[in-house]
Amino acid sequence: MIKKMKKILDEIEKLNLGKIERDVLLKKYTTYKVGGVAKAIIYPKNVNCLIALIKLLKSNNICYKILGNGSNVLFSSRDFDGIIIKLDLFDDIEFLSGNKIRVGAGYSLIKLCMMACKKSLAGLEFAAGIPGSVGGAVYMNAGAYKSDMGYIVQSVKVLTPELKIITLENKEMNFHYRSSFLQTHPGYICLEVTLKLNKGKKEAIEDVIKERKKRRIDSQPLEYPSAGSVFRNPPGMFAGAMIEELGLKGMKKGGAMVSDKHANFIINYKNASSEDIKYLIDYVHDEVLKKYDVDMKIEQEFVNWE
């Protein structure tokens, strides 16, 4: 397998499909700062290179994973015996007429929020503290402050499992609370997004962003590696409040801890392993289920645990 992988990586290099980093520590690419070693990370130059890369990997039965900013995934400590694909170079941005923005999947969501603010475009303020890529945000239907991507996405250009490029309109994306078409249809890859925003006043948009930044600093453990909220809020309930009522704030496993600042955050406070974090996620989930008969949905995606 090692020889086969080396041969394939050498071929990718020869074909000049994009930059390759070999034997990569995944903790450098996830906000939890944990994970094993991946055989390689590849940054395709463009859509044609991405298609050629996936064809090559599929024909050689090599598994791959599209990774955004690593802000909502938990890799195990095991080596990832495949290829990580990052779309960082899919970062074109274009401001269109009608308060629209066309932006690549690899663009930073926070940076996009600030760019929209500079152009006096409102509607993205909720995203000012979400450390994901645009593609990852669409996949998760990321949101905060009672808004999410589903409210502002007009259309999404995707690559299908058959490696065809198509455009899905907002309704076809089936956006719901922290959910989208992309989550329920594995193999579809977000390439580009068109957003429809509203004309606003730059100063007012800046004020909202500043106020929410202060709220995050005051209420969230931003000084530690984490992946944001671990559990989705059940209808009419707050995950953090239930966890706190169970007295689980401050609970530790190895170097991981249920934050004593916000109970719906699990933090890597002291060189935690992936397994430490997963233990706490599973434990908290099961305790809430026992006490409240509520099956909380986990926001993070578990990768390479089989």
Query: Tell me: the pLDDT tens digits for 96-147?
Result: 999 999 999 999 999 999 999 999 999 999 999 898 999 999 999 999 888 9
- What's the DSSP call for residue 224? S
Burial (Cβ within 10 Å: 0-12, 13-18, ≥19) of residue 36: middle
Which are the catalytic amino acids? 178, 229, 299
Q: Are the CB atoms for 58 and 101 separated by under 8 Å?
A: no
Using CA atoms of 196, 201, 203, 206 in order, give the dihedral in degrees to the nearest 10.
-20
pLDDT tens across 139-198, in order? 999 998 889 999 999 999 999 999 999 999 999 999 999 999 999 999 999 999 999 999
pLDDT, average across residues 266-285: 98
Q: Are the CB atoms for 153 and 170 separated by under 8 Å?
A: yes
Structure tokens, 247 = 């007295």
The CA distance from 198 to 219, in Å, is 29
Total-model pTM? 0.94
Output the pLDDT for position 306.
Answer: 80
Q: Rounded to 5, what percent of the chain is helix, strand, coil?
A: 35, 30, 35
pLDDT, average across residues 205-217: 92
Q: Provide CB contacts within 8 A for 125, sequence distance 6+.
A: 113, 117, 145, 147, 205, 208, 209, 212
The CA distance from 259 to 263, in Å, is 5
| pLDDT surpasses 70 at 237 | yes
Using CA atoms of 258, 268, 227, 24 in order, give the dihedral in degrees to the nearest 10.
-150
| pLDDT band of 248, cuts 50, 70, 90 | very high
Start and end residues for every CATH 3.90.78.10 domain found in the chain: 222-303
pLDDT tens across 61-101, in order? 999 999 999 999 999 999 999 999 999 999 999 999 999 99
Does the domain at 93-205 match CATH 3.20.130.10? Answer given as: no
Output the pLDDT for position 1.
Answer: 64
Output the pLDDT for position 36.
Answer: 97
222-303 CATH choice from 3.40.50.620, 3.90.78.10, 3.30.420.60, 3.40.50.261: 3.90.78.10
What architecture is the 2-86 domain classified under in CATH?
Answer: 2-Layer Sandwich (3.30)
Angle between helices 47-59 and 2-15 (to 10 degrees): 150
Start and end residues for every CATH 3.30.465.10 domain found in the chain: 93-205
**Tell me, what amino acid is at 213?**
K
Structure tokens, 137 = 């945000």
Q: Are the CB atoms for 172 and 64 separated by under 8 Å?
A: no
Q: Mean pLDDT across the chain, nearest whole number?
A: 96
Output the pLDDT for position 2.
Answer: 73
Where is pLDDT greater, at 129 or 285? 285
The CA distance from 90 to 45, in Å, is 8
Q: Are the CB atoms for 71 and 132 separated by under 8 Å?
A: yes
Output the pLDDT for position 4.
Answer: 86
